[in-house]
Amino acid sequence: MGEVILRDLVVQRESKSFTDSLYAVLTAAGRFKGPKFMLSALSGMAFIFSVHKRLLSFSVTAYGNWGTVHKRAAYSLGVYTASDGGRTRHPTFQHYQQEAVQWIKSSIDVGLGAIYWIPEFGVIHGYDDDDRIFYVQDGHASESRILLYDNFGINCTPFWNAQIFGENINIPAEDMALEALRLALDEWESPYPVMPNQDIASGRLAYAYLIQALEQGDYDEFGAMYILDTFRVSRKEIKLFLQEAVSLFPDLQDACLCYDKIADMTEGLDLWVVSGTDGRKVNRSDIPALVAMLKEARDLEEQSMDIFKQLSGRYPDLQRTTVPRWGLHTAR
């Protein structure tokens, strides 16, 4: 078809890179209507918290099998999805690479961009068959990157990953909210997202890894800031989601108050950060105060998870017919 570009698809970096990309693709295609915080929570992505024991920056995307996690995110929103990925060293890579080029082009032809591991995650929003290139957005720059078809999947990591989307269905608002809480519980109770590797922790244990690294002082400065910045954004997203969800489940009121406190505390993270020629980093002299805040946040989250668990037990199988109040709709 020559050149096709989805010009209404714009990635804005505000949350996790996958969340930003998913929101850009679905909203541009009319598959989701509503604020990003709602998509982040309903997909379960807001509740993901993963930390490497040395606070390496890849912690933020080291949350297990991407295929499983990202498909679950789309399914929770009622959106059909298909994905592929693996290691570029595999002898079959070139075959799957060229197959992926074709199904991504087909997706763009019907108005749906594709999520692509750059790294981190970004969006393929156009292509040009004459030059055999894709146009890629990462949310950091206003200009699109150029990706040769023959270089698809090749990057500075050993992995490649891409995901496309299709039609969506209506899911009752209560069901979506309850599923989000169950995803939160799963994340909180799962200590190691990349088994058998125990260098990376998630949920409750992620707090322990973060606190221990800060207290010991042997950690990656950039990674620490990236983890903390992402943590701050996600806790604000959860707070805003619960403020909406409490109208569906009044029993969430105490959890809502807990996350209000967490969001307020994390908004003050910059008080413990210094900026220099080598970028932002945690002020080492402020680590005791930062650790105290993280311990309080962990305890508040623990209280909230108890509330989620009790609520989940009271509603074992919601089957309702109401349309979600946050605007997910069928687009054909």
Count of all residues that appear for the chain in the document: 332
Residue 249 CB coordination number (10 Å): 20
> Three-class SS of residue 139?
coil
Residue 323, pLDDT score: 41
> In which residue are the tokens 């040395």 written?
54
pTM exceeds cut of 0.85: yes
Residue 317, pLDDT score: 66
Cα of 68 vs its chain's centroid, Å: 13
Residue 52 is inside which H or E element, if any?
strand 50-52
The DSSP symbol for 47 reads: G
pLDDT along the chain (332 residues), means of 10: 92 97 97 96 98 97 94 96 95 95 98 97 98 96 94 96 95 94 96 93 98 97 97 98 97 98 94 90 96 98 98 74 41 32
Residue 328, pLDDT score: 38
Can you give the C-alpha Rg of the chain in angstroms? 20
Helix (DSSP H) and strand (DSSP E) numbers for the chain: 9, 11
Residue 56, pLDDT score: 97
> Three-class SS of residue 84?
strand
Burial of 109 (0-12, 13-18, 19+ CB in 10 A): exposed
Phi, psi for 134 (deg, rounded to 5): -105, 155
Residue 173, pLDDT score: 93
Alpha carbon separation from 105 to 92, 123, 272 (Å, rounded) = 21, 13, 46
